[in-house]
Structures are given as structure tokens and as C-alpha cells.
Amino acid sequence: MHLDGDIHITEEIFAAAYNTHWKTLYTTCRRYVPHAEPAREIVQDLFISLWEKRETLVIHTSLDTYLFSALKLKVLEYYRKQAVRDQYLAYRQYTAQEAQQTTEEQVYFNELKNALDSAIQSLPERSRQVYQLSREKGWNNKSIAHALLISEKTVEGNMTRALNFIRRKLKDFKL
């Protein structure tokens, strides 16, 4: 079907164009789009657009030229959308990996914290007091000695024992 001049799309022209050009447009589309289903959708979308715009569309070239130009634009649009989709999927995969890493890190941190808390609770009373005042409250040895009524040397000895004990308990964690 080769219509020239200003063409207004009527139901008859649309049906004739569809029956005459669908297969040729599909074959042409397949040269640029390797998979059958997207190529089929592109050609169908072209004809849907043609039908939806039929009341306002005036074609100033031949119908053949219009259809193949429209196909070219539809193929370009397909690849633009595909590029956006690929970027989105890459982003989703990246964020999923980040979330998984963050989740794994959080699990590891929780396990480490639980092991540390357990080790601290297992310390002898005096060593636990010295450790907690030093590490959790930030007190210096002199303040700890004064508060617990012990010498600074005793504070240092208890702190050394506490740290060695905790290190042994946490040796399986990669710190």
C-alpha cells in the first residue's frame, strides 16, 4: 500500500496498513531488536499509536515512509527505556548488596557485642568493676583507685587481667 499526499487515517486505511505492513515492519524491527517478543510489542505499539492518533494525525509523506520512520523512533525509544531499566536494575542490585553487607555487618556486630557483654559478666567482681569504670565510664586509674579504695597498682593489675581475659574470650572474632 503506497499512499501519497496528506493522509488522514480512517478505519479502512488503518486495516489495510496493518495487514500490508505488519510483517515487513516486524521483520525490519527484528534486525535491530534481537528478541521476538520485544520486536512484536514495538510493532504493536506503533499501530496502537497510529490508531490512537488517527483523528488528529495528518501524514504529509507516504504511509510507508511514515510507518518506517515511526518504527525507527519506536526502536530508539525501546533502547532508551532498556538503558534506563538496566541502570535501575544495576542500582537495585548494588543497593541490595549494600543492604546485605550492612545486614551481615550488623549481625556480626551484634554477635561481637553479645560475646563482649558475656565476657565482661564472666569477669571476677573486682576486675569487672575496674573494667567498667575505665572503659565504659572513662575514668582514669587514680579515680578508680579512689572510688574502690584500692591502690593504683591494684587497678592496673585488675585491668590487665580483665583485658587478657576478654581477648581470650573474643579470639575467634576477626577484629
**Averaged pLDDT for residues 103-110:** 81
Statement: residue 54 has pLDDT above 60: yes
| Pairing state between β 7-8 and 58-59 | antiparallel
pLDDT averaged over every residue in the chain:
88
16: CB partners within 8 A, 6+ apart: 1
Domains and their CATH numbers in the chain: 7-91 (1.10.1740), 123-169 (1.10.10.10)
Cell of 82: 532498556
∠ CA 49-51-54, nearest 5°, is 105
Give me the pLDDT at residue 93, please: 79
Confidence of residue 149 (pLDDT cuts 50, 70, 90): very high
Pick from 92, 101, 48, 88: which is nearest to 70 by CA? Answer: 48
Single-letter code of the amino acid located at 146: H
Give me the pLDDT at residue 87, please: 84
CA–CA distance, 172 with 154 (Å, rounded to integer): 29
pLDDT tens column, 20-39: 999 999 999 999 998 999 99
169: CB partners within 8 A, 6+ apart: 115, 118, 119, 122
**Averaged pLDDT for residues 108-115:** 87
**Residue tagged 573474643 (cell numbers):** 170
Confidence of residue 175 (pLDDT cuts 50, 70, 90): low
CA–CA distance, 93 with 108 (Å, rounded to integer): 22
Confidence of residue 9 (pLDDT cuts 50, 70, 90): confident
